[in-house]
Structure 1
Amino acid sequence: MLLLTVMPAVAAPMNAFRESAVTNPHGLIIFVRQQLDQAGTTLTPTRERELLWGMGTAAINSNDDAALAEATLRLDGLATMGHDPVAAAAAGFLRARHDIANGLGDGLGEALKAADKVLGEADPEIVAWARFQLCDAYALDEKAAKALPLCHQSIEAYRALNDDFGIGDAENDVGIALATLNRVGDAATAYERSRRYYAKVDAEQLVVMVGDNLSKMYLKQGRAREALALSQASLKQELAAGRISDSLDSRTDIAQAQAALGHHRQAYAQMREAVARARKAGINGQLIDMLRVESRLAEQAGDLRHALADEREAARLGSTVDTPALRAIEVELEQRYAVREKELRISELEHANELKDLQLKAAQADAARRREEQRRQRLVNLTIALLAAALLLIVGLLVLLLRAQRRHAAELQAQALRDPLTGIANRRAFQQRATELLGRPREAHALPHVLLLIDIDHFKSINDSIGHPQGDRVLRLLTDYLRIAVGSCFVARIGGEEFAVLCPQAGLAAGLRLAEILRAGVAALMLPKDLQVARLTISIGVAQFDGVRCHDLSSWMRAADLALYAAKSGGRDQVVASKLVG
């Protein structure tokens, strides 16, 4: 079974719930909801993110789709409102883990998008967290060759942080990846290392849990009795904690161990019960493998008809795409919030109607007292009322006209700042953003701002050889890549085939890393065959704003442009830093 526990993501203790998310997931979900309800608006974004990450991991371990949807939706809200990439990544990693475990959609792609959101972070805890989440996703998706390097990097990162719990998590994933490659002895050794690290931090329940993974290796090594004992201990603990998915895995291992000991009918009965529980829980991703195990055990028990039916059902589940459970929960929560909002709206309308009724009654009483006095002036009052209505109509028309003009002005302003071909910011928008950035007070210990100027190599030859419409396609393809790859930096097309990337307080080292990532990423782009361009490369000039040699936007742009010229002159497809820096 694959353990998903809360890992450190920021200086605040986001890892506070990682053990309880596995050992007591239902209790943790209740605790988090109480904390969220009691704190209300006084809860800090950092604390809320920590609570929601713990709730999400607990929801996955207990197969609670409603709690998972609640956690991911609120993390998405934190990411949007607070411009928090770590919250966005946390929501993405939770969705990826759920989708991979249940055989839904492109869970691995979701994990990669989540990791992209924190790409380039300097905090070593964030780096360790993101690497482990990717290691975890690749291991669960049975991409062992890609999982192992990331898992080993996670181990080193956790070792540097003196985080034995994190090392135990990563070693468990190493064992899963090695087991996928059928390296039984190596996988068993990795699981044993994982258990030792958990024991160092007194996480005894996780020691027992990894024992079920180890039992699979013991079974392949012919140690069926030892495997059975480990899986039975794990199942007892999982049932007590309410971890449905993990308990199904242990039941499967118990059935296979019983079969290895020659108890074929007992193993077959155990497996049929486990499959029934998986169907009831709707865990289709896990159900496919369980059906294949049941088919083998059915054949050993002499029930060939059931064995064939299991294989057919496994094949059918493997070839169909189910509606993601998470989407259904999200729709349910949205409907619930809509109902609440509607109830509040109705209450407000009822209160407003009561006030109007009181005002009407007061007006009627006042009208009755003044009716005699107003009788003589009825014509005058009618004239005044008509004039007032006409005035209100004129005012309303003027308001509508003013709003229309403001909307039109806003649209014109947006168009003036957007490049019509690529849809990103244009040179004017870049200059406004850069001028605003340089006008802010600079903090004493803040890293300098970094500017990247990017130019497509041999772009004139592309236009001349395949035509300007295809050249425009090249520009849009590059724009689509840059928009995603630059992360939190600001990207703009400042003319022709030239682009600028503005990275506030990034520092030259981070700027050069980003530039090299962009250069290598563009060179590796898979271009459409009908584009008739075999390979696309870019040259990049990098300059940091030091406040001395680069003291204004003009000198900063000039420094980056000189570096870009050096990259082009030096053979293209390369990154050059401005020599004016430092």
Structure 2
Amino acid sequence: MLVAVPAAAASMDAFRERAVTNPHSLIASVRQQLDRAGTALPPARERELLWGMGTAAINSNDDAALAEATLRLDSLAAVAHDPVAAAAAGFLQARHDIANGISAGLGEALQAANKVLGQTDPRIMAWARYQLCDAYTLDDKPDKALPVCQQALAGYRALNDEFGMGDVENDTGIALASQDKVDDAAAAYVRSREHYAKAKAGQLVVLVGDNLAKMYLKQGRAREAMALSQASLKQELGAGRISDSLDSTTDIALAEAALGQHRQAYARMREAVVRARQAGINGQLIGMLQVESRMAEQVGDLRQALDDEREASRLNDTADTPAQRLVETELEQRYATREKELRISELEHANELKDLQLRAVKAEAERRREQQQRQRLANAMIAILAGALSLIVGLLVLLLRAQRRHAAELRAQALRDPLTGIANRRAFQQRASELLDGPHEAGIAAHVLLLIDIDHFKSINDSIGHPQGDRVLRILTDYLGGAVGAPCFVARIGGEEFAVLCPRTGLAAGMRLAERLRAGTAELTMPDDLPLERLTISIGVAPFDGVRCRDLSSWMRAADLALYAAKSGGRDRVMESRLLD
């Protein structure tokens, strides 16, 4: 797979092709320039050099160079108050983590994008959106990747940046391919190669050819696919691009298998898997193990096929935990909320301007009325002007009220979950923070937090489809809303997870409520047209004791640990956090 190098500002464009085609040379050159310049290096130039070094390090799997680049970018961000440098460090770390199967990678990318959100430089915004598009693509989330990729493509098109458009179209092809839209993906790869050709980036035209080769394989064009992948592999080996060379090797093996050369393909794949393990590229290794398993089965090596599937499953489970999904959901909501808050701020600024215009018009109307009294000979003309001004005032008042209503609606939407209609994570955090900031009187029952997770929800989505899964979420929401009662507060905090906040309830009452919710859910009767026999939930319960739970973050962690214990203990059960001490 081609890992393209985007631009974050005009000063960050210089190395993007060289970081792909000759990364080792670029790293050595950057280190030499940094050592020679010392502290006299201008911040913009230092950021340019470090960005090129970091992207080259990722492409050549050089962890030492990557660590050096990210540390110096973080330092530059702190000293020069440069949010672009801070975002660049975050995006580099995110790319490394996702490629190596580390679950925090997507969260890093979302945090980095948030650092430059609201910047006015169109090149910075196009760069940031491309980075987020790339992170979602590498993390195999095409539904989230494609809308952001389209925003990045529009930004680069407005800048007439052929290289940037080539980067985005390549990621668009990867996202479409993961949705099995073979023809659309192939078309995107062709457009990517055309953009790189216009940018005179001939080596990248060849490298994208390996992605196009994957589509040719699915279209039954195995010999054409093999030729493209062999050309890409030659360049990747010459440039020391380990990850991309493994991807091209896999595609060549698949082409050999399609041509009936099963044992040759299997031998090639086994060698590639060994190299992936040695390089520690766990994110890529999962897919390679699955390919090797199928090839092992084709040649009759059933024991190896089973071992490969078990290893791939273990690596995948390690990278996908409920806690990490919660973090990613929170960061995505924070990023979306930040965009909405910027829009609200723009509306409020517009309202302030309308207020000033309204005052000016009113002042003018008053002046006209005074002039009317002094100039009786101009009564007719003054009356017409006053009437016109009054009409304008009325229209401005109506416009101002409409915009204020719109701003209020946006604020309400920011606190409401669009699928279920109940409070979202942001509203929950506000309510919990207000509760914890209030007075704490001795002898009063403790606040209690219930974290609820639908059991096997991924299996529900996979078996009956996401639209039916959404119905299940709404059915549970309706039940919880009716069963919880005052003074408790129910919110959907992400995916299939809900929170119930119970002020001054006490642990015993909180446990009784949790058990009642668990049992009631299990007894729910599903609609006849919903192919689901039974719905169960797991619940973690944590009291706010002021000792182990000192703030909202530690309270959430305590409840999350209890929830994890409930799920690990067999699901469809309630666990209390203090039992885990």
| TM-score band w.r.t. shorter chain | 0.5 to 0.7
Aligned position for 2:256? 258
**Where does structure 1 lack aligned partners over 5 or more consecutive residues?**
323-480, 490-502, 537-582
Question: How many correspondences in the alignment?
Answer: 363
Distance 2:412 2:119 in 1: 19
1:56-67 to structure 2, matched below 5 A, reads: 56-67=54-65
1:190-201 to structure 2, matched below 5 A, reads: 190-201=188-199
The reply to whether residue 43 of structure 1 matches residue 76 of structure 2 is no
Contact 1:172 1:194 in 2 (8 A): yes
**Where does structure 2 lack aligned partners over 5 or more consecutive residues?**
321-332, 353-402, 418-423, 433-448, 451-486, 493-581
Could you tell me which amino acid in structure 2 is paired with residue 189 of structure 1? A
Which one of 94, 98, 103 corresponds to residue 100 of structure 1?
Answer: 98
Contact 2:190 2:212 in 1 (8 A): yes
Question: How large is the RMSD of aligned CA atoms in angstroms?
Answer: 3.1
The reply to whether residue 521 of structure 1 matches residue 521 of structure 2 is no
Aligned position for 1:243? 241
1:364-403 to structure 2, matched below 5 A, reads: none
Distance 2:407 2:41 in 1: 34
Contact 2:2 2:207 in 1 (8 A): no
The offset of 1:316, in angstroms, is: 2.1
Aligned position for 2:171? 173
Could you tell me which amino acid in structure 1 is paired with residue 4 of structure 2? L
Contact 1:485 1:518 in 2 (8 A): no
The offset of 1:243, in angstroms, is: 0.2
Distance 1:27 1:510 in 2: 55
Relative to structure 1, the CA distance from residue 310 to residue 157 in structure 2 (aligned partners, 3 Å threshold; closer, same or farther) is: same
Moved over 6 A (4+): 481-487, 509-519
Contact 1:2 1:140 in 2 (8 A): no
Aligned position for 1:143? 141
Which one of 474, 480, 488 corresponds to residue 532 of structure 1?
Answer: 488
Contact 1:142 1:180 in 2 (8 A): yes
Aligned position for 1:293? 291
Distance 2:57 2:100 in 1: 13
The reply to whether residue 159 of structure 1 matches residue 115 of structure 2 is no
Which one of 115, 118, 127 corresponds to residue 117 of structure 1?
Answer: 115
Please give the per-residue CA displacement for 1:284-325, whole angstroms capped at 9, x wherever unaligned: 111111111111111112212211121122122222359xxx
The offset of 1:517, in angstroms, is: 7.8
The offset of 1:2, in angstroms, is: 4.1
Please give the per-residue CA displacement for 1:380-406, whole angstroms capped at 9, x wherever unaligned: xxxxxxxxxxxxxxxxxxxxxxxxxxx
Distance 2:187 2:334 in 1: 43
The offset of 1:149, in angstroms, is: 1.0
Please give the per-residue CA displacement for 1:109-152, whole angstroms capped at 9, x wherever unaligned: 11111100011111101110011001111111111111111111
Contact 1:294 1:310 in 2 (8 A): yes
Aligned position for 2:85? 87
Query: Structure 2-normalised TM-score?
Result: 0.58
The 3-state SS of whatever aligns with 1:132 is helix
Contact 1:482 1:518 in 2 (8 A): no
Aligned position for 1:234? 232
The reply to whether residue 25 of structure 1 matches residue 26 of structure 2 is no
1:366-445 to structure 2, matched below 5 A, reads: none
Distance 1:179 1:154 in 2: 19
Distance 1:165 1:76 in 2: 27
Please give the per-residue CA displacement for 1:521-571, whole angstroms capped at 9, x wherever unaligned: 3445422776834579xxxxxxxxxxxxxxxxxxxxxxxxxxxxxxxxxxx
Aligned position for 1:6? 6
Distance 1:510 1:95 in 2: 41
Aligned position for 2:282? 284
Contact 1:104 1:321 in 2 (8 A): yes
Give the share of equivalent positions with the same residue, in percent: 68
Query: Structure 1-normalised TM-score?
Result: 0.58
Could you tell me which amino acid in structure 1 is paired with residue 488 of structure 2? Q
Distance 1:516 1:251 in 2: 54
Contact 1:2 1:176 in 2 (8 A): no
Distance 1:535 1:283 in 2: 38
Distance 2:38 2:122 in 1: 31
Relative to structure 1, the CA distance from residue 523 to residue 204 in structure 2 (aligned partners, 3 Å threshold; closer, same or farther) is: same
Aligned position for 1:388? none
Could you tell me which amino acid in structure 2 is paired with residue 320 of structure 1? T
Could you tell me which amino acid in structure 1 is paired with residue 18 of structure 2? S
The 3-state SS of whatever aligns with 2:14 is helix
Relative to structure 1, the CA distance from residue 121 to residue 517 in structure 2 (aligned partners, 3 Å threshold; closer, same or farther) is: farther
Contact 1:89 1:117 in 2 (8 A): yes
Contact 1:164 1:200 in 2 (8 A): yes
Which one of 178, 185, 188 corresponds to residue 187 of structure 1?
Answer: 185
The 3-state SS of whatever aligns with 1:320 is helix
Relative to structure 1, the CA distance from residue 311 to residue 517 in structure 2 (aligned partners, 3 Å threshold; closer, same or farther) is: same
Distance 1:317 1:154 in 2: 32
